[in-house]
Structure 1
């Protein structure tokens, strides 16, 4: 709705117009009324009106001066002069300022003002529609230009044989002038992309907004630079630089990247990290720059938000096997969930993320490791009837492998464990079998100790006979059978995930007699522990 400002030093006139004109019915709102031009101007600096209706002769600032100042701020402002002056000189000044109408109070009819407001509104509607159409066309052209640039980069990366003359001509049309300057390339990565996409409702809208801000900032702070969208979450930047003094060039480029970071953070609350390349002076070096930067996924995975770093050679794989730590991490995770202590979630996640950052395992290995932990946890919670997930395995797999940075993985894990813990707590609060759930929790936490029926019933303050009958009724098997089954499942995990001998596993699980352990293992699994381990290798 268009805003109207009414200015007149004659208060009865202000009151009359305020109450007589049906502003809302005319499709406008009366923004404010003022008794002098200075007050009106101050208000307009906070909230510019679309329509100004003003007297001429007023204290502090007259209507002509007010109109002139507001027109300099808003050239599309519609102005009607309402004055007792019929003098041609005043009318002439008003016409020079492109005032749309000049109404004399002595012969004023409210219908004249109503008609004038309708005319103003129609004119503003037409102007806005033209502006919208123009902006839509401009947006379409901008999107098309970004698509052309994205296809150019994709073709440069993927095509083995490129006609250099044609490539240079196309590069020049997009702003890359390798015949005039060298360029330092960099790969920019968008943090928390999934969250941003939800906020902006679509990938297309988000990327369009990013490209607009980037283009404006490049033009302002580093003219001649060119950026290219690469997929949804990454952009390539090429900054024109003299590569003779590369260290100086990198310093200048770094300042440009900082400005781009600040502009995106300020305008869209978006965080970028950059990895800079070695520089290029011809088509082959340009392509090599692209390929080397794309091969930095290991380095980029461990970047903190808002980082600017130089490209490093790919790291050698750590000598330590990540899966050798699996058993320890899984045991701590199960204990965390079974104890239902939300305060320990961040501590647990921070500990293991710090371990991953220190060792710098490959992103693919880290995600495989995390996914296995979470899937094993789901299986155990399902078996304990403590969790029913609506998410499929593929959904969880895609979510984890879509994560680009270690800090995003940390946030995701904390939120995931909080959701699991909340569900487990809800089950505990609603179930009628609290004693059974507490018994199951006790067994899970103490699975590598000797566990007896008397010990658990005492822990629950229940009579052993009553507890035994209750457990059999609720679970469908005796407590001893349940404990044995859980210990055998744990033995299978240890055989798969550790190099511990059968004797050590037997001892870890609280069995005094190895022969007895092997016998019950075979009864449950169908093969001996050694055969089971051999079949899994």
Structure 2
């Protein structure tokens, strides 16, 4: 059966064509429909079409433009146009582009429907067979050659891959679709605000014998994440083997926790090697972009203790959208943290020692933490350590320890049902009574009241 797509912006006309014409009698089946040219191209990228029946006069992409795009991307597809009598100049243009036939909408009457399809079917049979090699696909729709191209679309909330046999076909309508219907200033603004991954073309090797839907499924599952980690400024074309889209071993829980702890720590802010190690580990694990973003936002709560909070403000206008952009932002945070810490002109070595002490506090928060012991661990005198810690973090050592203990207790109260006595111990307090006193001084609530309020809010 020939697979048919019907394209018309008038829903009633479209449904009439689909339902009343005797498609099956002539070996045809309507498998898809679209209300405009853009939608038609998107659906053709996902499913095979043998015969395209399209209106000529449509808003947005015209029928003629759709015919040109289909001829470039899918040479084997037969095309028929729908028209009114007064559009005959457009019909002549369509015929010059190689359409098979045209149907005037006044012909769509019960006694003429069979003759229309008979005429079209006869012309398809008499038309010289197109070589599958011309389209890069075998007769069964699989790729005949070892190469294919895919263009990634990221516009608004839309995420879509377009697959074709040439780079030109894959990206043919990229610029025109981005600017379609906009005046010059609006089009310029759209290009300026364009998602950095939008319009990137990937040359894929190793696709011979693979069906187009299979390749599209692989791209949907892993393609965007590969671009997220592999995109570089100014590079609009990439080359992959299809093996890169095969299922890989997922990062283990231990690896994810280790990475999260690494970014939540402060060592990377002062140690370039630690920063490079964490960056390389992140790129190697290739966590889903949303998971990585959540991990880094959680870590920012810790960075805020050592950085100017203004440096950590994010909104949609400046949110990193690729791993490369995140690396640049993290480098800016490193520079900002050092500048913030150097307000009193301390050496990088002193700043690194204070950050090391702050990390030690977080990692051992349920232990007895005394200033002289921590100062000794970073090879500083008690008094100098106390002064440096206050100047660099903006808090005394005791305030920092208290804040870390209270933050841990709040997390445990929100996310566990453990008794308050256990939470007190896990947060470094010797007994529940003292813990409750300190907690109330810091938050204005007793631990049980805090838990009850947040459980109620969650429910």
- TM-score bin, normalised by smaller chain: 0.3 to 0.5
* TM-score normalised by structure 1 residue count: 0.41
* TM-score normalised by structure 2 residue count: 0.47
Which structure has the greater CA radius of gyration? 1
Q: Which of the pair is proportionally richer in helix?
A: 1
